Amino acid sequence: MATKTVLITGATRGIGRGIALGFAAAGYQVYGTGRASTTLSTGSSGNDWAKEKGIVLKQADVSDQPAMAAIMKEIQEKHGRLDCLINNAGVASNTPASGLDDDEIAKIIDTNFKAVFQCCQSYYKMQRKSGGGCIINISSVLGIVGTSLASVYSGTKGAVISMTKALAIEWANSGFRVNAICPGFIDTDMTEMIKKREAVYQKMLEYIPLKRLGTPEDLAAPALMLASDGASYITGQIIVVDGGLTAQ
């Protein structure tokens, strides 16, 4: 894997960080993006974990497609190609459906769906002359099942699933594989608000057959599998990593 490269959006924390560490351990040259300049600046102690593993972090908002395309091009020019793109960056909301305003709706859609599509598009345009590539979109079990306080979020994650399948078909003849991973409830800062409500947290655990939250590292293994040459016949698929939640 030493010559393979991967770009992971939203790699500075949570699921993205867990996937980045997993790919680095497997020998990939890992690049990641994040929005916060304070944790990405040179000499910042906030990204020591990345430096120690040889992970290169770059500041960029996924909604800024010229910036994202430039990062992809920089990686391609340095290494000859970008083997895998993992679209992980996203935003959540716990605003009741009746209380969502236009600004919040636009932010969720722009980050969770529009930016994911545009990153796929930029990657395709860059890599199609190089024989294709691998795209892994991080969706959510909430794109499969519904829950309260996640109306627009669930809608965007369901859209990512459908988009993944459509792109897999459209780009198959160009040598691209496009798959998605749907995490369940993962122990990150996005689930902190649930953990602080003990009764709600315990009730949630009761519904998960494995009786625990997932970890960011739990997502690294399926992502590595989908990115590997051993998955060369897998495209348009959705892998659910949720402790059995949606199997019921």
- Cα torsion 136, 141, 147, 148: sign: negative
Q: Kindly name the residue from 28, 124, 153, 201 that is annotated as catalytic.
A: 153
Per residue, the 3-state secondary structure of the chain, as one string, reads CCCCEEEECCCCCHHHHHHHHHHHHCCCEEEEEECCHHHHCCCCHHHHHHHHCCCEEEECCCCCHHHHHHHHHHHHHHHCCCCEEEECCCCCCCCCHHHCCHHHHHHHHHHHHHHHHHHHHHHHHHHHHHCCEEEEEECCHHHCCCCCCCHHHHHHHHHHHHHHHHHHHHCHHHCEEEEEEEECCECCHHHHHHHCCHHHHHHHHHHCCCCCCECCHHHHHHHHHHHCHHHCCCCCCEEEECCCHHHC
Task: Indicate the SS3 state at residue 228.
Answer: coil
Determine whether 153 is an active site residue. Answer: yes
Sequence-ordered strand ranges (E) for 41-155:
56-59, 84-87, 133-138
Annotated catalytic sites, by residue?
153
